[in-house]
Every structure is written in structure tokens, then in C-alpha cells.
Amino acid sequence: MKITINGESHTCQAGETLLSFLKAEGISPQTVVAEYNGSIVQMNQFGTTLLHDGDSLELLRFVGGG
């Protein structure tokens, strides 16, 4: 199935959770804020948020520096 992440099309498995998708992509759930179809998802809900064909995700990472 296809989902949109930060404006780009990606393929993922049907029935996959946000948490399993992040882990498969090598993204630590503790380092991102996720907006799912226009709503912020709390990190404790990543494991129960199912992805569906046509969904839209915005993933924001915090970067430190000086």
C-alpha cells in the first residue's frame, strides 16, 4: 500500500502500525513527532496507530547544534 510521508510517496505493508513502520525505516520513535492525517499522534499511541492506503504522515525530527 502507498502512504505519503513528508510529501513523498512510500510503500509499506498493509496493517502495519506507525511504530513498526518507524522501526523498519531505522527511525527511533523517541526522536520524532508524528502528524497522522492532520493530527498529532502521541508517542504512546504509535504501536496502536494502523497505517492505511492513502494515509499522510509528517515526521519531524529534532536536531541539536550550535
State the pLDDT at residue 49: 96
Domain count for the chain: 1
Q: Is residue 42 part of a domain?
A: yes
Residue range(s) defining the domain that contains residue 54: 2-61
User: What distances in angstroms separate CA 13 from CA 17, 37, 61, 66, one per listed residue?
Assistant: 9, 18, 23, 39
Series of mean pLDDT values for 10-residue runs along the chain (66 residues) = 94 91 92 96 96 96 76
Q: Is residue 46 part of a domain?
A: yes
State the pLDDT at residue 13: 87
Q: Is residue 24 part of a domain?
A: yes
Q: Is residue 66 part of a domain?
A: no
State the pLDDT at residue 14: 84
Q: Is residue 53 part of a domain?
A: yes
**CATH classification at residue 22:** 3.10.20.30
State the pLDDT at residue 66: 64
